[in-house]
Chain A
Amino acid sequence: MSEEEKFDAIIIGAGPAGIACAYLLAKAQKNVLVIERGVTAGSKNVTGGRLYTYALEMVEEGLTKAAEEALERKVVREQITMMDGDKAITIDYHDLGFKGDVPQSYTILRAVFDEWFAAQAEAEGAMIATGIRVDDVIEKDGRIIGVKAGEDEMYADVVIAADGVNSLIAQKAGLRGELPAHSVGVGVKEIIELPPKTIEERFNVGPDEGVAKLSLGCTEGIQGGGFLYTNKDSVSLGVVFSPEQAAKNGKKIHEIFQDYKMSPAIYPLIGDGTTTEYGAHLVPEEGLRGVPKKLFRDGLVLVGDAAGFGINMGYIIRGIDLALVSGAAAAKAIIAAEKVSDVGPAYMKELDNMRLIPNMKAVAGFPDILTLPRIFSTYPKMANDVFQYLFTVDGKVPTKMTKALMGIVKKHVTMGQLMGDAWRGLKSI
């Protein structure tokens, strides 16, 4: 192997994790190669997009400002909608403080953002090769020393697997097995174009402001939910749900999505829009439990979705921020390490220092709530029945409130189930 074919680092995948890592390494004068399977960075992902800016700032202070062109709207409305047929309750939290100097979060279109971010890394000197699939890692004496892409072999001191939730590299390196069906959600998403003015009117936001909405009760009882993000001139709308349960129930993905789209809580928001993109992807759902026991080997580290870094709390879904932070952590570890075998342990330390693992630990129990089957259908229905009772005025003598509420609860669950779920819920948080 000739010297010129050896890199300081080869990064597989040009998503936020891979590029954050490449960007910092290139800035530190490291010889970096990013290999991306898609034709351009960002072309192979479907995230319905929200970026928490603290993560960009952790990669480099001021990066959010620099990225503004590639970001969509500042999220100032956080909404949770509980749906039941033609009824729905929406909680709408409006906070202009979220706009701040560096807004807390932006909606993003990954195709736009990833391409921008990749261009920054390239400008710093990282080499980005697109349209190429990495097939395997090259091992020597128990160390990962490079990658194979088709006939080509390429060598590096460290390989960074940033190849997403279904990380082939993590599997090939023996760090994780095949993905069990229950550990992931299937996400489907459409991008629906609407004029900016229409978006601002329908969602009651200013020109640079946006909405993030999560919906429950739209997946026909299957574990999962809907999401909606407003972009500059489009809406990202989708559902994420358990493929395992959907298969058992015999539900078709597109039917669930279509029902969500046409539901009275959603359709008026997207009506007259033009669907311009459709995609599907896997999402890590298990939180800390989905993170492999080991995130590194000699010569290899896992970052982003490939490392299982995802947080789903039901009302907040995080992944891109964790990807950015983990990519930056890997870069810092590589820059600081004196020898290759130091990189892995240094990476783990950085993940702690940069508060990624503590963040995931703090909410490690949430998947337990989200596997309570009643969360996705029974409770949204129950809540809607309560509101229907509260707001119905039809001239009849209303039932006494305590009695009515008990009646509604009993219609949906037994006291035992309710207590059990409450106990499990409290324990999980």
Chain B
Amino acid sequence: MANIVVCYKWVLDEQDIKVNPGNLALDTSRAKSKISDYDRNAIEEAVLLNEKDGHKVTGLTFGVAGAKQSLKDALSRGPAEAVWVNDPVAAEADAFVTANVLAGALKKVGNYDVIICGEGAADTYAQQVGPRLAAVLGIPAITFVNQMSIEGDKVVATRKLGDCTETVTASFPVVVTVLPEINKPRIPSLKQVLGASKKPVTEIKLADLGLNPDDLKRKTTVKSLKGYAMTRKNVIYKDGSTAEKVAKLVAELAKEGAL
């Protein structure tokens, strides 16, 4: 039996984020949060492995106070327990800080054989935390995984690399980052939702991790964060028969180099 820790990020739901059409500023005031979509695949994969061979699955997140809401959601998806590092620093953390904090939490929790992360976060998609976490812990990382299994004390994983695949094996402990295509996350059932509130949750304060102040200083600076608006040409071909309109459209597209 392996101890599987699955990391997830509590992110703003992009559907609720509004872009101010004038200055492209983001309005997140009404945005609800959710478990990062790709991390749902990570949780599902951990739970599937458990259902297949019987392992222990723990959910791990680093988030602000609001991330408390995420625990019930995460646990309803199958992990047996959850660990939550609660600190306002999470709001400003980059991948460097997050990896340090998660590594600190893992060391504190102790037993970890397989750490599963989503390939990237649904908000930033930097694809950094998984590999960085492995580096901090000094263990292997297997990225771009679209298939995995646990055999004894090893992980066997298939990596999707452009037009080929690579199958790799690594001994515990190991970090695996999974692609969304690896599975289809379940919709928790009523009993799973109800059961989630009875599962144990450990809340850890950042101060208890014994990290250096430098470990919590972000390496990247966000200079600006803006919405992206596609400028449309708003051309309507009104005159002439259908054939003529299509011909005009095609000619125009060809001229623009779109065809």
Contacts and interface: CB of A to CB of B under 8 A. Distances in A.
Contacts of A151: 189
Interface residues of B, number: 10
A140 B251 CA distance: 71
Main secondary structure of the interface of A (DSSP, over half): strand
Nearest to A134: B190
Contacts of B18: 276
A40 interface: yes
A150 B190 contact: yes
**Best-buried of B189, B190, B191 by chain A (most CB within 10 Å):** B190
B32 interface: yes
A154 interface: yes
A131 B189 CA distance: 9
B244 to A, nearest CB: 29
Contacts of A154: 190-191, 194
Interface string A114-146: 000000000000010111100000000000000
Contacts, number: 28
Contact of A131 (B188, B191, B194): B188
B32 A129 contact: no
B193 interface: yes
A129 B194 contact: yes
A149 interface: yes
B197 interface: yes
B189 A152 contact: yes
A132 B32 contact: no
A35 interface: yes
B187 interface: yes
A380 B41 CA distance: 58
B189 A127 contact: no
26 contacts: A33-B194, A40-B32, A127-B194, A127-B197, A129-B190, A129-B193, A129-B194, A130-B193, A131-B187, A131-B188, A131-B193, A132-B188, A132-B189, A132-B190, A132-B193, A149-B190, A150-B189, A150-B190, A151-B189, A152-B189, A152-B190, A152-B191, A154-B190, A154-B191, A154-B194, A276-B18
Closest 8 A/B residue pairs (Cβ): A149-B190, A129-B193, A152-B190, A152-B191, A132-B190, A152-B189, A150-B189, A129-B190
